[in-house]
Structure 1
């Protein structure tokens, strides 16, 4: 008997691998005409649109009744013919066959679903676009949500080392609820296109003072002073590891750090489901814990919005209560000066 979600797992793994190949190709020859700015001034590239097209193409074929809540829409491509042509060109290059522009646009728009659904996929085609533009880390993140919980995740890090001590880059993390989490090579050369994967386990470190921690590289995304205060309150001796994208969740899941703090720098900022769903399941299935700042589990019932109060604490479980206590202490402390 085939394991639960095996068909979805195979499709998700193949989809993020294909999208990652496109992203690698684009990142290797970035030029100004391959990027644009969204209305909120955040960057978007040909890779964002192309990766969403490829993932949604596969999901629409394999699971036509499932909505996809993706970060991008094709609105910009409808009014920017040059951008549309480049996206179509990159998708054709990645797949090895030509496509009509209307097909590619329709695949991107398949990922524009919004609103509650008992089952849906959520996709961030290039999470960490600023890192992507710098030639640094980024992620392709896909998760399947059922009844407000992530049940399957595929998270690719095309620039992340395959293992903490490895030099070769390119890894895909896969998790299925109740079945654990594994790490796979981004590129597989055997005939079946599969590998067994390496089981992920969080660190066993249970001394908060010795905890290693990470946060966003971009100060505009993260209240870094607050996170530093939490680290001091926990008695953590070392400084943070900073990097772009959802791969911070992966660092916790494979035991490179014990703690990830996500506290938005902008008051009232609402997190999106595509920025967290895959990473949350990855940590949970590796033996860790993820909550909001009040200690409540994250919920994905109202896409595109993540239901979380104040921010996110992700840990190896052993340090979680100490982190939540430190968050409360810092939150209640009178402002300095």
Structure 2
């Protein structure tokens, strides 16, 4: 099977970063720092990005990485000691993986690793897309977030791994265990394993997951974003009403929504534009796209167009709709009925 080593290293790295960020969240250290674009970032973002990039480059030194963060705030806010303390903790706690993932020992190695996430992406070569904490707002609230890593080869997503430290194994089972790792490899299916389980190979501790292509809209469950700035709740409500979806939506932060669909806890994920000019980032969707695809679903933009992960650091498309293969075509038709075949009326639900 192809990409076995890549999937294995990605699982080990995502697990290490998930344990690290969970530790920070549990210690209530997740106070945010404001970036230039006014979005929040935490020491968890920097620590997780450093740990994962260092791990990837130890094993695949010629690969490139598209990461969300750089070290400028680390240096200006003098965060190196705090971040290194957390990294040292996880490297000791997860010492069984040190031979495979390496260790970070000083501020220079920390900042160098973070800054290696500076690839501009593209259609050629091996490029990893990394979001060290997807859903920073959820992380700050003590709610859902995800650690997301995907390998894109010549513009095609080949491996996707998502760590979900706070996500129940089942959204609907009382007392469900918490925390998991979701893995997909193109052409090889999608898999789930408990976060606490040992990662000994890509699939030894995992079991296959599938979504519900047998459900119609009367049984369909929707997951959507918590933040109003991330997805148009008004348009979501109209779509759900027209499709006669009876189940109330579940609102979650981050790519855990893709995991819920892939795992059969939901059949539809709607991320609808709130701005006409905004384009989605590849690190926000690459892993989740592959998970849903390999579990039997479809993911496109809101007009039904394929997502292009080789066009740079962003997707040249508006919004995202992930759903079962059964329901996806009718959802796209409903969206077009509401906003126009080419989005002529999308402005009604968006800012400029």
Q: Which residue of 1 aligns with 2:112?
A: 106
Distance in structure 2 (CA, Å) of the matches to 1:163 and 1:257: 10
Distance 1:144 1:259, change over 3 A: same
Give the stretch that moved more between structures: 204-213 or 104-113.
204-213
Q: Which residue of 2 aligns with 1:55?
A: 52
Of stretches 251-260 and 108-117 in structure 1, the one that deviates more from structure 2 is 108-117
Deviations 1:184-223 (A, max 9, x none): 1112258889733111101133422332111101111111
C-alpha distance in 1, partners of 2:200/2:150? 26
Corresponding residue number in structure 2 for 1:127? 134
CA distance in 1 between partners of 2:133 and 2:27 (Å): 16
Where do 1:1-337 residues align within 5 Å?
3-31=1-29, 34-81=31-78, 83-96=79-92, 99-116=105-122, 117-164=124-171, 165=173, 167-189=176-198, 195-308=204-317, 310-332=318-340
Cα deviation per residue 1:143-201 (whole Å; 9 max; x = unaligned)? Answer: 00012221100001000112443522110000000000000111225888973311110
Q: Is the 8 A contact 1:252 1:315 kept in 2?
A: yes
What is the RMSD of the two structures over their aligned residues, measured on CA atoms? 2.0
State whether residues 188 and 195 of structure 1, in contact with CA within 8 Å, keep that contact through their aligned partners in structure 2.
no
Contact 1:138/1:158 (CA < 8 Å) preserved in 2? Answer: yes
* Structure 2 SS opposite 1:261: strand
CA distance in 2 between counterparts of 1:134 and 1:301 reads 33
Q: Measure, in 2, the Cα distance between the counterparts of 1:60 and 1:225.
A: 43
Displacement of 1:98: 6.8
Provide the C-alpha distance between the structure 2 equivalents of 1:293 and 1:223, rounded to a whole number of angstroms. Answer: 12
Output the TM-score relative to the length of structure 2.
0.89
C-alpha deviation, 1:234, in angstroms: 1.2
Instruction: State whether residues 160 and 291 of structure 2, in contact with CA within 8 Å, keep that contact through their aligned partners in structure 1.
Output: yes
Residues 269 and 190 (structure 1), Cα distance of their counterparts in 2 relative to 1, 3 Å cut: closer
Structure 2 CA distance for partners of 1:298 and 1:190, relative to 1, 3 Å = closer
Per-residue deviation at 1:251?
0.9
What SS does structure 1 have at the residue aligned with 2:315?
Answer: strand
Alignment match, 2:97: none
Unaligned runs of 5+ in 1: none
- How far apart, CA to CA, are the structure 2 residues paired with 1:168 and 1:61? 33
Which blocks of at least 5 consecutive residues in structure 2 are unaligned?
93-102
- Report how many aligned residue pairs link the two structures: 331
267 and 87 in structure 1: CA distance in 2 versus 1, 3 angstrom threshold: same
Q: Distance in 1 between matches of 2:43 and 2:204?
A: 30
Note if contact 2:198-2:205 (Cα within 8 Å) is conserved in structure 1. Answer: no
Q: Which moved more, 1:324-333 or 1:133-142?
A: 324-333
Say if 2:21 and 2:48, in contact at 8 Å, map to a contact too.
yes
Do the aligned partners of 2:7 and 2:202 also contact (CA within 8 Å) in 1?
Answer: no
1:210/1:237 contact within 8 Å kept: yes
In the superposition, relative to structure 1, how do residues 119 and 193 fare at CA in structure 2: closer, same or farther (>3 Å)? Answer: closer
